[in-house]
């Protein structure tokens, strides 16, 4: 066997062992990851009459739409339920087809990108709470019971913060408001670094297919997609 062929085979084996390529976005949704960057081309929506009016009256030049998507997986075999606990996948997604911009100005787009990071902070808080609950109870079924309440709570909290930020930055136009919010969100991301969204989360939510072969989607808690700013 030649040296080059051996290197090629080892490379193939390495790629195979590392698993499948993880999907983090599609034509409509872009999942948050540490490497993700929302760019001008991601704003695929067309300006509505309302946005045009707000642009004229208040100078609003863009509108980002971000939602939290989550799903609950449970062990396939009932005899494994207890030895294995539930798994929750959660991630913020930038919704391309309903996000609109009338400008390429990076400063204005940065104001819209903050919504995406804001969603990530809430995804991390939800993930943190899930870990704390499972570590304290170590009991199967607890997360199955609490999942919907926890999901809805963080969806609502995200919506509240979304609206507060929008009001201060784009309606009141308080001096230094964006910088204040940017600092707040960055602090949250830093403090919750341990609970950052992973590519596996985005892949699971985009494909609808369980990642762990021992797990399946819970039949009684269906996939929920909520646009928490509405």
Q: In this structure, which long-range contacts are made by residues 58-63, counting pairs with CB atoms below 8 Å and at least 24 apart in sequence?
A: 58/170, 58/171, 60/170, 61/101, 61/102, 61/103, 61/105, 61/108, 62/99, 62/100, 62/101, 62/102, 62/103, 62/108, 62/109, 62/111, 62/112, 63/99, 63/100, 63/101, 63/112
Per-residue pLDDT at 60 = 85
CA-to-CA separations, 148 to 21, 45, 143, 224, in angstroms, rounded: 30, 30, 9, 9
| CA nearest to 110, candidates 40, 59, 160, 44 | 40
How does DSSP assign 150-197, residue by residue?
HHHHHHHHHHHHHHHHHIIIIIS--TTHHHHHHHHHHHHHHHTGGG--
pLDDT (tens place) for every residue of the chain, 230 residues total? 444 444 333 333 333 334 568 999 999 999 999 999 999 999 999 988 887 887 777 788 999 999 999 999 999 999 999 999 999 999 999 999 999 999 999 999 999 999 999 999 999 999 999 999 999 999 999 999 999 999 999 999 999 999 999 999 999 999 999 999 999 999 999 999 999 999 999 999 999 999 999 999 998 754 444 444 43
Per-residue pLDDT at 230 = 38
Per-residue pLDDT at 95 = 98
């Amino acid at each position: 066997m030649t040296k080059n062929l051996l290197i090629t085979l080892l490379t193939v084996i390495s790629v195979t062992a590392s698993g499948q390529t993880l999907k983090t976005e599609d034509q409509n949704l872009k999942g948050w990851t540490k490497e993700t960057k929302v760019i001008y081309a991601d704003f695929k929506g067309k300006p509505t009459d309302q946005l045009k009016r707000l642009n004229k009256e208040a100078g609003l030049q863009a509108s980002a739409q971000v939602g939290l998507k989550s799903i609950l997986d449970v062990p396939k075999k009932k005899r494994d339920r207890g030895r294995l606990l539930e798994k929750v996948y959660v991630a913020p997604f930038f919704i391309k087809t309903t996000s609109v911009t009338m400008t390429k100005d990076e400063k204005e787009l940065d104001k819209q990108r903050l919504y995406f990071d804001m969603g990530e902070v809430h995804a991390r808080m939800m993930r943190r709470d899930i870990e704390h609950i499972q570590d304290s109870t170590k009991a199967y079924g607890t997360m199955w019971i609490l999942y919907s309440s926890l999901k809805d709570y963080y969806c609502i909290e995200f919506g509240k913060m979304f609206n507060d930020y929008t009001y201060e930055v784009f309606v009141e136009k308080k001096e230094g408001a964006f910088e204040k919010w940017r600092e707040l969100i960055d602090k949250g991301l830093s403090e919750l670094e341990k609970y950052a969204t992973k590519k596996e989360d985005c892949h699971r939510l985009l494909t609808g297919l369980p990642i762990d072969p021992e797990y399946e989607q819970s039949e009684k808690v269906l996939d929920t997609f909520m646009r928490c700013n509405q």
